[in-house]
Amino acid sequence: MKRLIRLLLIFTLYLSLGACSTLSGLKFWGDEDEEEEGPAELIRITESVNLDSEWNKKFGSDNNFGRLVPAFSNDTIIHISSNGYLAAIDSDSGSDLWTRETEDLVSGAITVGFKKIFYGTLNGDLVTLDFKDGTEIWRSQTSSEILAPPVTNGSTVAAQTSDGKITGFNVKDGEQKWVHQNTIPKLTLRGTATPILSNGFIFTGFANGKVSMIYPDSGAIRLEIPVTINEGKSELERVIDVDGKSIVSDNILVSASYQGNITAIDLQQGQVAWQEKISSIHDLVTVRSRIIAIDEKDSIKGFGLTSGAILWQQDGLRLRGISSPAALGNNFAVGDFEGYIHILDAKNGSFVGRKKVSNRPILEVVSEGSYLVVVDDSGRLFYLSVS
């Protein structure tokens, strides 16, 4: 009876926190005396890539609501905090070009394009600002909280919401153009996939394990294929969210799901090209014709883009709470829970660089050329050069 009560308390705690990125960290069964695996200890590496800290600055309060991903636009970095503090920053000096207090609770940011800035709020507002000074142009209401950056092609901006919908709006005036909805399971992870624009289509995944290929201006569906089939016996086992960002390369769409698969879809044939078992909530990236995927225990795997073969596996960051990867030339970068940035070679998964930049967990890593923008869980922004 006591064990049942303990189980219910843990599960209730998970539901109340909501912001947990994975269910795997919660232990519901097994021997209470069983020793749990801890995070991997970092081993000494031979560094061939140097990371230098150029500047860093604090952005408002802790990032608690959703994915706040900084955006590059030429020599300007745009970032917003969870409590709505927005700034355009000169990347060379780290000085503010302009700032604005939006007073929004921001949960999905930022997208920059076509001289505009887009972000989403916890209340479901999609907000559009002028790039030159942050003046608000329009805001439109969606059906639920927006937990990932929007996407735009210049005429339509689309935002995905936590209730299984993605909605397209007119970029000029914010008028709603279309809504596409997927039925979502009773139990899901708190988060959504980040929509991407490629080959003239919007691609995104949903909590039911499906990925959709959408015409941006009409919302019509060109293709919708399950990455994973719901076959679990319990509600927990049937959680198969596609929460990470998919990638499109060489007319192949690749997506991964929690407790499911990584699946490559041939867009010309409209059918599955290959599929491998993995449980992942992270974004995918492609480097050197390799798909970089991170599983639920932070093992990093390199898959062949066309073959799906696992070319290498790196377990040196296992259970270190690593961020989604960012492509960096022939390498890629990830951050971990101790504030380290790691650079790995995409060819074989070996470590080629490392630097501790924060005493807090790293949430987001974004690359542009030979530079990285890093965000930790206190909301601090770091700018690094890579050589």
One DSSP character per residue, 210-231 reads: EEEEE-TTT--EEEEEESS---
Confidence class for position 63, pLDDT limits 50, 70, 90: low
What average pLDDT does range 258-272 have in this prediction? 93
Question: Does the model's pTM come out above 0.85?
Answer: yes
For the domain made up of 282-355, give the CATH fold.
Thrombin, subunit H (2.40.10)
- Average pLDDT of the chain, as a whole number: 89
Average pLDDT over residues 188-206: 92
Lowest-pLDDT range, 95-109, 155-169, 227-241, 341-355?
A: 227-241
Strand 116-121 relative to strand 156-160: parallel, antiparallel, unpaired?
unpaired
CATH no. for 186-280: 2.40.10.480
Q: Taking 70 as the threshold, does the pLDDT of residue 14 lie above it?
A: no
Q: Which residue has the higher pLDDT, 110 or 20?
A: 110
Judged against a pLDDT cut of 60, whether residue 163 lies above it is answered with yes
DSSP string computed for 122-188: TTSEEEEEETTT--EEEEEE-SS-B-S--EE-SSEEEEEBTTSEEEEEETTT--EEEEEE----SS-
Q: Does 152 score more than 70 pLDDT? A: yes
User: Is it true that 63-181 and 186-280 share their CATH fold?
Assistant: no
User: Is the pLDDT reported for residue 298 higher than 60?
Assistant: yes
pLDDT digits (tens, 9 = 90+) for 216-230: 999 999 999 998 877
CA distance 246 to 224: 14
Report the C-alpha gap between 342 and 344 in whole angstroms.
6
Residue 146 has pLDDT above 50, yes or no: yes
Domain ranges within the chain, ordered by starting residue: 63-181, 186-280, 282-355
The residue ranking higher by pLDDT, 37 or 18, is: 37
Phi, psi (5° rounding) for residue 14? -60, -45
- Of 287 and 11, which is predicted with more confidence? 287
Per-residue model confidence as pLDDT tens digits over 82-101? 999 999 999 999 999 999 99
pLDDT category of residue 11 using cuts at 50, 70 and 90: very low
The string over 212-236, giving b where at least 16 C-beta atoms fall within 10 Å of a residue's C-beta and e elsewhere, is bbbbbeebeeeeebbbbeeeeeeee
Q: Is the separation of the CB atoms in 281 and 258 below 8 Å? A: yes
Give the contacts of 15 (CB within 8 A, at least 6 positions apart): none
- For the record, the structure tokens of 341 come out as 């940035």
Q: What is the arithmetic mean of pLDDT over 314-326?
A: 98
Sign of the dihedral through C-alpha 60, 62, 67, 70: positive
Q: Residue 342 above 50 pLDDT?
A: yes
Two tokens, residue 90: 């000169």
Check pLDDT > 70 for residue 13: no
Length of the chain: 387
Q: What is the band of 64 on the pLDDT scale with cuts at 50, 70, 90? A: confident
> Could you tell me if 354 and 45 are in contact, meaning their C-beta atoms sit under 8 angstroms apart?
yes
| Predicted local confidence at residue 35, as pLDDT | 66
Q: Are 214 and 206 in contact (CB under 8 A)?
A: no
Share of the chain above pLDDT 70, in %: 90
Encoded tokens for 72: 């590059």
| Range list of H helices, the chain | 2-17
Quick one: pLDDT at residue 37? 85
- In terms of Cα–Cα distance, which of 140, 156, 139, 272 is closest to 220? 156
The pLDDT, as a whole number, for residue 5 is 36
- What is the spatial distance between Cα 260 and Cα 263, in angstroms, rounded to a whole number? 9
Residue 23: what pLDDT?
42
User: Per-residue pLDDT for 114 more than 70?
Assistant: yes
Q: 63 vs 36, 56, 91, 376, CA distance in Å?
A: 28, 16, 22, 8
Half-sphere exposure of 83 (CA within 13 A, CB side): 7
- Domain at 63-181: CATH code: 2.40.128.630
The values of phi and psi at residue 160, to 5°, are -100, 140
